[in-house]
Structure 1
């Protein structure tokens, strides 16, 4: 059994398909299929159930997968030590980032720029998805780290280290009936149409929980897939939204504080519960925490 066989096995398991795994590994699909057949023959078990539509792990494959990941992580740790002895940190870090055009608050782009200056030999591959999906990707080993905004401080299989925190505010267009208020309560918004992002996004999760906690309901009239469009819908009077003040360019949009204890948008870096697996990921994690402590 070779490390390359385990790399192919993990890729097929994570991508849930031979062709996607081949794309990820930059090889032809026939090579992936041949490698898996050889590994299954060596191990004496079937690792995947193959149908015309999808590829699924067998029970044996699901048992083997964590051990394969641990073996690959141990091999990478050995490479990291060798790289450090040679005088430079190298490797690849898969980093999940949120979709947000942010003028303030924690910036993933600023993090990558600072890290590149410190560790030019490390390649960071950003992947952009919703916070809940990013957290699952870290837990399942598809990402090394992720910048997320989730209300839960503890998630199974993960550790969350806070990077920034801010209160959500009400965003309304100029001239709206609530635009001149010094503050508003969630109860004032029960009859307002909302524009919001999909259910896996951090801001949506936080907002839904805030309304549920007070026994209130709201109407999401528009669901869109980026924060810039959320702001634009508010700007043109189509709906209101709850947003962190750091999101986007808010020209022609009035931000009104929420009374009481407003829901908070907490940006964190998510890592496996036992910490980042590689030296490169650990270095990026440390840089993120240092920038957060410095208010960057």
Structure 2
């Protein structure tokens, strides 16, 4: 067994692989390269003194020691997050302005509740929201230039190596089809079944388009896009109007969301996808610089740029 202390990131990599049972998906989840995740898990195995995963060319599974370690690793990460939160609460006098960039799916991102909790904890911090016509790619450039302090958006792969990023939540994508569509009544369909249809999409860089484009590219598949809309909340209206089908985050397709407030009511149907195509909400900031208000927000989210 190695005498070096166990690193927090090694535990995070281990939990990600244990939950995904796939090194590639785990790397995408924590926004680092697959080789970094593999090296981190191997380092943890040296520190523990035992193999945590049984690996083959086709599958990854936990060993008995890995299964025993998983709840302990989760508890350790939770405890570290709670300790950071305690430190932040000691500095609730923080004040200033926090410039936040966000994509327009604010409801699906859960951003109002995130920022509401932060505002309650740090009432002396003023929040200003900013958008970018280029979507997440534009927000990343604004973070790099210092035009905004932090961004919340669906980060396209691969993760930028020059910026701090952390996945806050994951959502599966679902299909949105006209109510009279032949697949509207199915309990589950494959994305490939929709490729004969035209698609309603957002502009490149907006919404979940990069996720779908990336998935199709990896499969060597393509699709026809009938129209690009400037606002994700208009996708449902154009599907209802017969312009095609769409793929959206499952939370965005909830009953009370703007995306499904189409006329006439019931003109579109939501159908789950068989493939686990996910959209990650990430928080992105620079590694260096920033402000006490930014550190307070990251602390409120139980994150620290020093960990990365």
Q: TM-score range by the shorter chain?
A: 0.5 to 0.7
Partner in structure 2 of residue 114 of structure 1: 117
Q: What's the offset of the Cα at 1:229? A: 0.8
Match of 2:176 in 1: 171
For residues 112 and 149 of structure 1, do their structure 2 counterparts lie closer, same or farther at Cα, with a shift above 3 Å needed? Answer: same
Question: Which blocks of at least 5 consecutive residues in structure 2 are unaligned?
Answer: 1-88, 304-308
1:150·1:202 contact (CA, 8 Å) conserved in 2?
Answer: no
Q: Which residue of 2 aligns with 1:273?
A: 287
SS of residue paired to 1:169: strand
Which residue of structure 2 aligns with residue 13 of structure 1? none
Q: How big is the shift at 1:144?
A: 0.7
Match of 1:262 in 2: 276
CA contact 2:199–2:227 (8 Å) conserved in 1: yes
In the alignment, is the contact (CA less than 8 A) between 1:132 and 1:202 conserved in 2? Answer: no
Correspondence 1:119-268 to 2 at 5 A: 119-129=122-132, 130-152=135-157, 154-247=159-252, 248-249=257-258, 250=260, 252=266, 253-259=268-274, 261-268=275-282
8 A contact 1:88–1:121 mirrored in 2: yes
Give, in angstroms, the shift of residue 119 of structure 1: 1.4
Seen in structure 2, the aligned counterparts of structure 1 residues 288 and 202 have a Cα distance that, compared at 3 Å, is farther
Under a length normalisation based on structure 1, what TM-score does the superposition of the two structures give? 0.63
Distance 1:86 1:222, change over 3 A: closer
The answer on 1:283 being equivalent to 2:296 is: yes
CA contact 1:172–1:237 (8 Å) conserved in 2: no
Contact 1:149 1:266 in 2 (8 A): yes
Structure 2 CA distance for aligned equivalents of residues 145 and 87 of structure 1: 19
- How far does residue 138 in structure 1 lie from its aligned partner after superposition? 0.8
C-alpha distance in 1 between matches for 2:197 and 2:283? 33
Which whole-Å deviations, capped at 9, do the CAs of 1:229-253 have from their partners, x for residues lacking one? 1111112332110000111343622
Q: Partner residue of 2:86? A: none
CA RMSD in angstroms comes to 2.3
TM-score (norm 2): 0.61
Structure exhibiting the larger radius of gyration computed from Cα positions: 1
| Equivalent position of 1:80 in the other structure | none
